[in-house]
Amino acid sequence: TDRKKLHTAPVGQVFRLRPFHVLVATGGGYAGYRKYEDYKLEQLEKRGIEVPVKLASEWEVALYKSVPTRLLSRAWGRLNQVELPTWLRKPVYSLYIWTFGVNMKEAAVEDLHHYRNLSEFFRRKLKPQVRPVCCVHSVISPSDGKILNFGQVKNCEVEQVKGVTYSLESFLGPRISTEEMHFSQAPLGNSFQQQLVTKEGNELYHCVIYLAPGDYHCFHSPTDWTVSHRRHFPGSLMSVNPGVARWIKELFCHNERVVLTGDWKHGFFSLTAVGATNVGSIRIYFDQDLHTNSPSYSKGSYNDFSFISNNKEGIPMRKGEHLGEFNLGSTIVLIFEAPKDFKFNLKAGQKIRFGEALGSL
């Protein structure tokens, strides 16, 4: 009897843990399969073959979301903070540079031994002269990356990639009260899209920029504007690479994101930093109260913070000024109003660097 007791307790514990292990293994294996499918799609695109849109079903999205990406991202963040021995730094960073095509000649500090851990290497600064800010065009790219989509917002839907959309209201959240904005807004009876357009004759535009792991991970102000409000959505941390963005509808609405809203000379302006797998950390330099990928996560929630007070009318940002940073890479979405003659100087799929023109009047 004693021997049975000794043997049955551990078996019971293993049995209780087994469903979790199966869930992680199944979800992780499926995520790996999707990565392989994404790779095949990329190869077809490079050959100029148009790939038909194939959206994930509800059970596929649920299975992907079952992978504990938030926990894994926090673990990855802690691993990134571990200080590497001096002798190990060059081999580790050189492997990363080779894998993701990092151009270290642009880095402010090229010596790999200078970076104590992976986090410092990811957030490396650039030499000032390598990213000149365009003075001619009114809106510049806030970061390095790849243009996934751009254009006018239509019918309250925004394209994350060609043929795959998400809801404008779900992405930005409920309308912000007029007391927290510098300008008057349209009546509540209009659509959500019309409420954001504050001046007659203006249209709403959007631009989506994907930051790959090898890109420069800081982001900057895309224009001269005033940030009046921050809305933080805790959420999933699924991959946001172009293959997944083409596969999961409303991917950006599922993921954790930080929405900065305010105004520029033509009215409403917003910049949203979208989190992704291993990018649980989104930092906004002037917002010390922001804490992303927190263990206390409430599904479907969001929290607001206003930068307008009795003696402060928001945070003024100059075009090209440092705004925030990611760890590893992610996505930035710009949504703003401008006159109807605003034109983008872009092509879908093109690579762009911080400081280069997005568009102008």
DSSP state of 41: H
State the catalytic residue, choosing from 141, 143, 221, 330: 330
Q: What is the mean pLDDT of residues 9-14?
A: 47
Confidence of residue 20 (pLDDT cuts 50, 70, 90): very low
Active site annotation includes 177: no
What is the share, in percent, of the chain residues with pLDDT greater than 70?
Answer: 78
Confidence of residue 241 (pLDDT cuts 50, 70, 90): confident
What are the domain boundaries of the chain?
Answer: 139-174+192-360
| Model confidence pLDDT, tens digit, residues 64-75 | 877 877 777 777
Position 195 scores a pLDDT of: 87
Q: Among positive and negative, which fits the CA dihedral 34, 39, 43, 48? A: positive
Confidence of residue 15 (pLDDT cuts 50, 70, 90): very low
Q: Is the pLDDT of residue 325 over 80?
A: yes
Q: C-alpha angle with apex 40: 37 to 42, nearest 5 degrees?
A: 110
- Amino acid identity, position 316: P
Give the span between the Cα atoms of 129 and 333, in whole angstroms. Answer: 26
Position 163 scores a pLDDT of: 73
Give the span between the Cα atoms of 239 and 274, in whole angstroms. Answer: 10
* Contact (Cβ atoms closer than 8 angstroms) between residue 137 and residue 357: yes
DSSP labels, 229-272: EEEEE--B----SHHHHHHSTTHHHHB-EEEEEEEETTEEEEEE
Position 6 scores a pLDDT of: 47
pTM value is 0.80
Length of the chain: 361
Lowest mean pLDDT among 109-113, 220-224, 262-266, 308-312: 308-312
Average pLDDT taken over every residue of the chain: 81
Torsion region of 305: left, alpha or beta (phi above 0 gives left; psi -120 to 50 gives alpha)? beta
State the catalytic residue, choosing from 220, 232, 254, 266: 220
Q: What is the mean pLDDT of residues 164-192?
A: 70
Active site annotation includes 281: no
Lowest mean pLDDT among 78-87, 187-196, 248-257, 326-335: 187-196
Position 17 scores a pLDDT of: 45
- Here the contacts of 293-296 (C-beta below 8 Å, separation 24 or greater) are 293/70, 293/73, 293/74, 293/77, 293/234, 293/237, 293/256, 294/234, 295/74
| Model confidence pLDDT, tens digit, residues 23-54 | 445 545 645 655 566 666 666 666 666 556 67
Active site annotation includes 220: yes
